[in-house]
Amino acid sequence: MLVLLQAACAPTVEAVELTGALSGTDAHAARFEISGEGEVELRCATAAGADVHRLSTPQSPPAPVVMRGLLADTLYRCAATRDGARSNVVELTTPPLPTGLPVAEVTIPGDPVEVGFHLVNLAHLLDPAAAGDDSFSDEFLAIVDAEGRPRWQFAGEGGGDIDATWVGADRILYGGFGADASTAPTIRTLDGEVVLEAPDEAGSPWQVSASWHHDVGLAADGESLWVLAEEAVPAADDPETTWEGFVVQQLSPETGAILWSWSSMDDGVASGALDAGDRYDIAPFHANAVWDVEEAGGLKLYVSLRNLNQVVRIDVATRLVDLRIGLGGDLALLDAGGEPAEDTEWFFGQHDVKRIGDLLVVYDNGLNRTGSGVAHSRALVLELDEAAKTARIQTQWIGDTEWITPAWGGLDLRADGGLEVAVGNFWWVRPDSTQRSALALLHPDASGGAEQAWRLDFPSVETALYRSERLDGCALFDLQEACP
């Protein structure tokens, strides 16, 4: 119910009229119309004066003003100010959260400004024995604050290998394989409007229709998208059997049209850079991440190949693989002190990679780590020296020797040197484990390790989390507690 109260003071601007939430189920946004002309500051706060949002509007707003990032099931009081004159007060109570949305709990509190907000994809992972298939329920894209409280959420998209990233202008890019079907690279506004759904266009003769998976992202220059899809290539020793390859595609953010593509078969195998699969090795690569970097030699792509335990670098201009990082690759591994390290200290079954300057940031799942190594997952940062052909372990964080996530997970390097880790729990593999999906902020230390400065844990072992991305809550939602 909306209650309008006229403030008993003079002078006032013309009344601020609330037209209602953006939809009947939107718990995080309200729409206002402001009469008159001139810049206005709109302020909304909870009844206790907390959770303060401030939004300045331009001269003569051409459309209703939207206040976002509100807490669900909460009473807010809102008013507008122009030239020192204050409007009437509008009270509103936001709707409750939808049923099924997993809400995290804070296990290590952190500074809201430093922590920021996080964009995540969430779902409830069904028990295959009970469900009869590998599927998910209660799928959501969500933005959560430092206390784990949702500030935006969209139902029906999430789970599995659905990657999501903020592309600015109130828009989110996402896509991959979730639930029982592939989701095309899609750009959706915070209002829910779809502004791009990439067409199902093949980047190679081997590409499988509607086989988007694992990674969709905005290029470093902000002018295109990088995505992954699968190939099905007949095995030379058994044409009735196909092995799983991959295609990297560069797409137009306006139309989804292919601007450039690279085939694991036609480019990788044909050049001798990659070995083809066969009837016994039907998934030789399992590409699950792509990252573009403009380097001295031109534009390069870093592609994570989980089943090879390697990251390969592709030169976009020449189409050649010119660097392999990982087990059996082109660089020798060194420990934090610069001494040769055991092969078991490489990354294994990795699910997220980023090249930032001389660093390679890796979410090391630890899948199939053998020998003297312990089968654990890690947040891992390697310092690369291509001239010396070495990769030195700069930072590694295990956290708990019980932490083993055979699939999913992500790691981001912040500008201040901190690490943002998404623990993507995959409980099917270890159904007796009590491990839950989590988000954490790490502060690396001088010894090559790291300490947790903040952590959220999701409510149950069945909560599926793939990756996360930190967002600035001050810039995103004009939330004053998130502003320095």
Distance, C-alpha 2 to centroid of its chain: 36
Provide φ and ψ at 182, rounded to 5°. Answer: -85, 145
In a domain, 50, yes or no: yes
Token output for 377 = 């997952």
pLDDT at 472: 94
**Domain of 51?**
3-93
pLDDT at 281: 93
Residue 421, beta-bridge partner list: 411, 440
pLDDT at 335: 96
Strands (E), 14-64: 16-21, 29-34, 40-46, 53-57
pLDDT at 61: 60
pLDDT at 49: 85
pTM over 0.85: yes
pLDDT at 373: 57
C-beta of residue 80 within 8 angstroms of C-beta of residue 34: yes
Q: Which of 272, 329, 320 is nearest to 297 (CA)?
A: 320
pLDDT at 4: 33
Please provide the DSSP assignment of 133-160 as one string: SS-EEEEEEEEE-TTS-EEEEEET--ST
User: Positive or negative, the Cα torsion across 106, 381, 293, 425?
Assistant: negative
In a domain, 58, yes or no: yes
Task: Convert the pLDDT of each residue in 173-229 to its tens digit.
Answer: 999 986 567 899 999 999 889 999 999 999 999 999 999 989 999 999 899 999 999
Give the other-Cβ count within 10 Å of 135's Cβ: 18
Number of domains in the chain: 1
Q: Which of 194, 202, 318, 181 is nearest to 249 (CA)?
A: 202
pLDDT at 79: 86
pLDDT at 20: 47
In a domain, 286, yes or no: no
Mark the ranges of the chain whose per-residue pLDDT is less than 50.
Answer: 1-23
CATH code assigned at 78: 2.60.40.10
In a domain, 280, yes or no: no
In a domain, 180, yes or no: no
In a domain, 35, yes or no: yes
In a domain, 29, yes or no: yes
In a domain, 259, yes or no: no
**Who's near 469: CB < 8 A, 6+ residues apart?**
118, 119, 164, 165, 166, 412
Type of residue at 21:
A
